[in-house]
Structure 1
Amino acid sequence: MDAVILAAGQGTRLRPLTDDKPKGMVEVDGKPILTHCFDQLIELGADELYVVVGYKKQNIINYYEDEYQGVPITYTHQREQNGLAHALLTVEEHIDDDFMLMLGDNIFQANLSDVVNRQQEQRADAAFLVEEVPWDEASRYGVCDTNKYGEITEVIEKPEEPPSNLVMTGFYTFTPAIFHACQLVQPSNRGEYEISDAIDLLLHSGRTIDAIRMNGWRNDIGYPEDRDEAERRLQDETEKAQTEEAQTEEAAVEDAASVPSSE
């Protein structure tokens, strides 16, 4: 399955970190956000990476060139930042099967594989991770409205008055049907072509849409403090893994020492 990474935005809220680089090149725990994205997508089985670039695009192209960890990279250019649906259409000519989509300003430690598995098993037209966030933060995201059975009935991008606090997280799988929906999307009140509106069109046309609850965590790197929080979480994960590894080794040594000698 191919993977698309959207990395064209200017990252104005991340300034001064993005004064001289696109936000995908802002480092978190010693490496660019895009490297974190690429590593996870390759682990999920990405055959090729399609990176949508725009603002200071040459920084990204010069850094990664035409492959990463042996996986080919193709770049497409979003000349004007007119929204995620607009950005996704720049890769349409390259994609003819199911694919993964990741927003290139997110750090995940979560069950992304559940989304990919659902896509492969049931071939939903769209599948994505959702999470509950504090109500005062919901207006930053694509918000999912649900009925009394918990089924998603509508997806709304950055609403002033969110109908719920259940939001999309920035990782999706799609069939190529999403491209036609993106072509039909009209500019939102923000003047952008929203990916949430494209998903909403699929939903209301009777297409199969699967939302999977996130198990784990993710940080949307929108502000400098989000970068700091993601870095802290990743370092905590590393320390936890090192502690567990040391405990395992210590237990193995103790077990070996407790085995009676054959002499």
Structure 2
Amino acid sequence: MNVASQPTQAVVLAGGQGSRLRPYTNDRPKPMVEIPGTGTPIIGHQLNWLAAEGVTDVVVSCGHLAEVLQDWLKETELPVRVSTVVESEPLGRGGGLKYAAAALPRPAEPWYATNGDIWTRFSLRAMADFHTERDATATIALARPRIPWGAVATDEFGNVTDFIESPPLSYQINAGVYVFSPDFAELLPERGDHERTTFPRLARERRLAGFPLPQGSYWRAIDTAKDLTEAARELRGGSAG
């Protein structure tokens, strides 16, 4: 294993408004919403996970109600060194990522990034190895979440053959966790969305890899109040440890 391929720095994108999580986000940014039953906000779980995966330095990109998040970071005993950046004006997802990356302590080394509303557990080290083996410029974690509805299976004659409760999606989705090589930051736009510019370009050049989350890995995006309820239920059931 190439030790240099294992990032020790990360960016957490924590600037979203979290409008679908109101009223929880009326007085705090989305990453500061607590998972019921844990007493810890989403970003606290993320920082603990990053530390367990060998990360020592994290840059948190703040936006909506930034001071609430910054105050929590100052008052809390953290497992990693954390600094924050705040966009003075909206830069878009790609521009915000580029702005945060400029604050990383080791610009010549690879780095992780994660969206601030993701609660997950899987081996980032394995993802970094996957990234290195493919000589990728960027690697996206891919999830296959279950759809929230029951599905109906039919045969070729239109006869119903089965009912399937919350089956997994047939497509993989962007799980909001990334590994980036050092030269990735310079490919990001100053403003705008990298998923419409940088990622398609890298895909055309075969420099963008997709890492499927290992079987049994826990992953959930916390977008709505129902997601909080489901996360708490999964925690009690032991799948969100």
Q: Same-fold call, TM > 0.5?
A: yes
Confirm or deny that 1:38 pairs with 2:47. yes
Deviation at 1:90?
1.2
Does 2:165 match 1:165?
no
Q: Tell me the TM-score normalized by structure 1.
A: 0.70
Provide the C-alpha distance between the structure 1 equivalents of 2:194 and 2:176, rounded to a whole number of angstroms.
13
**Among 54, 57, 69, the residue aligned to 2:66:** 57
Answer whether contact 1:109 1:218 (CA < 8 A) is retained.
Answer: yes
Deviation at 1:119, TM superposition (A): 3.3
Give the match's secondary structure for 1:27: coil
Aligned length: 207
After superposition, the CA RMSD in angstroms is: 2.7
Structure richer in helix, relative to its length? 1
CA offset digits 1:172-220 (Å, max 9, x no partner) = 10013322332277x5xxxxx244642222222x253221111212111
Query: Counterpart of 1:62 in 2: which secondary structure?
Result: helix
Distance 1:209 1:41 in 2: 22
Mapped contact 1:125–1:175 kept (Cα < 8 A): yes
Is it true that 1:129 corresponds to 2:141 in the alignment?
yes
Greater shift in the superposed pair: 41-50 or 83-92: 83-92
* Equivalent residue for 1:99, pick from 101, 108, 111: 111
After superposition, residues 72-91 of structure 1 pair within 5 angstroms as 72-91=81-100
Q: Deviations over 1:89-145 (max 9, x none)?
A: 1123234120000111011033433212323555521112112346799xxxxxxxx
Structure 1 partner of 2:219? 218
Range that drifts further, 194-203 or 216-225: 194-203
- Specify which structure has the bigger relative contact order, considering alpha-carbon pairs within 8 angstroms and separated by 6 or more residues: 2
Aligned partners of 1:123 and 1:66: how far apart in 2?
40
Instruction: Select which of 11, 19, 22 maps to 2:26.
Output: 19
Residue of structure 2 equivalent to 1:113: 125
Partner of 1:3: 10
Question: Would you say 1:71 and 2:71 are equivalent positions?
Answer: no
Moved more, 49-58 or 76-85: 76-85
Gapped runs of 5+ residues in structure 2?
A: 1-7, 150-169
Q: Residues of 2 paired with 1:68 and 1:195: CA distance? A: 34
Q: Which has the larger radius of gyration?
A: 1
Query: Identity of counterpart residues, as a percentage?
Result: 24
Deviation, structure 1 residue 70: 4.9
Match of 1:176 in 2: 182
